[in-house]
Structure 1
Amino acid sequence: MMLLLDIGNTNLRWGLSDGGPPDEVRVVRHCAAVPLDLLADWERLNTPERVVASNVGGASVATAIGRATRAYWGLDVEFVQTRAHFGALRIAYPAPERFGVDRWLALVAAHRLVPEAALIVDAGTAATFDLLLADGRHLGGLILPGVEMMRASLLAGTLIPRIASEPTDEPWAVDTGPAVAAGSLQALAALTTRLYDRLEQQAQTPPALILTGGDAERLIPAMDRPAQVVPDLVLRGLFEVVSGEEAQAVG
């Protein structure tokens, strides 16, 4: 049994792998430390054989998680790093270390999940867009502020009042709060459509559109291309990488 961790900018997702991707995924906000409810859950776990993690949340949370796993089970966390090549997957960045490990693991999982080209949208604190051809060639990607960061930056730089609101079913709004709420979702959805169509032209066949991240479900109503939400995409990629390493070791 392995404990798999996806440490994002804001949230930590974790699950137990017993020969496959985690059946159940838990999500907590980490605030650059170890949440008490996470420790409470881990106190009830049997000792895992390994703890494997993806971390883009910073050094402090990584250090705190490492202390907890050593205290509970005497295990160090194995942090996965981005690689230029993994199987047929080849990332476009000339400097792999500059490509976020969460984005890389999402590509690993997407390439295993669907046979066609894919546009992977991770709607978290930041929104990332990555284009992948069916043969494993990563074309590159884009990064924007996520939904909440986009709204917060607009409100911080203007005198628009902070009105808690979610967009209506229409892509536009008739009041300021809903206009801000709808604008952030429609901006990400519009860029998704543009990239999807460009990828379809290059692949010469409709690609898969895979959404992940904490705001993936919020984006669905704004999408005008068929999409599937895979909340545990990074954890699935983590499992694929660990499984591939173990297969190579046995071979």
Structure 2
Amino acid sequence: MLERLGFIGTGSITEAIIDGLAQSDYPPAEVIVSPRNADVAARLARRHAMVRVAPDNQHVLDHCPVVCLAVRPQIAEDVIRELRFSARHHVLSFIATFRLQRLQALLPDVARVIRLAPLPMVAHKLGTTIIHPRDPIAAALFNTLGTALESDDEDDFDVLFAATALMGSFFQTLHAQGAWLREHGISQSVSRAFLASLVTGLSDAASRTDIPFDALAREFSTRGGLNEQITEDLAAHGVFGAHAGAMERVLERIRKPAVSGT
């Protein structure tokens, strides 16, 4: 495992990665985080002895050969341009809308730059992190936090990245279902626990087979039964058909050409 790992940007994804690494068999000897989000940085330093808060972003670069860029796309270019990268730096970028060509133009002197899409589940060493291009350092790091999926094709990486935008709608769907249960007298605690258990079981069933999802939908629905009724009602309202358009618009946003100053 890495001796030292640095983070430019100290938000929720940085926190999830560090929490996951702290539980791994071979965590980094030292993790240096930028001070931009002081609350998160201080919390990580209190929680994990391996974490040190840098006085500024450049300090992270000066002390870490492997650096994670975990800043919001809206400020990423300004942050990068203020820093001095060198040929010793191996850069792992989590910036969703910065494709490889744009990153390489901003970071012409670094040894290597890689795109990744880590998700909050890495805090519990779960889920899949997509990586482009293939990279042994990134793969080794994120295989300790779940599964690393390396993509040789940036277009494929972008498509998979678009699918990571489904997380919010997943929880919003659960919220709507829970609201209906509560309207019918089921308490918040019971409805939440029941739905969480339901989706955990369904996820486990999906992960244990290669059966296509539409076939699983039929397998879990008795003909003329209640599950089939819900599926048909939602389909009639365009719920399933709306996914393709929503995901396509996310993909367009990821691939949108960079505009100077944005």
Please report the TM-score for the alignment, with normalisation by the length of structure 2: 0.33
By percentage of residues, which structure has more strand?
1
Which structure's relative contact order is higher, taking Cα pairs within 8 Å and 6+ residues apart? 1
By percentage of residues, which structure has more helix?
2
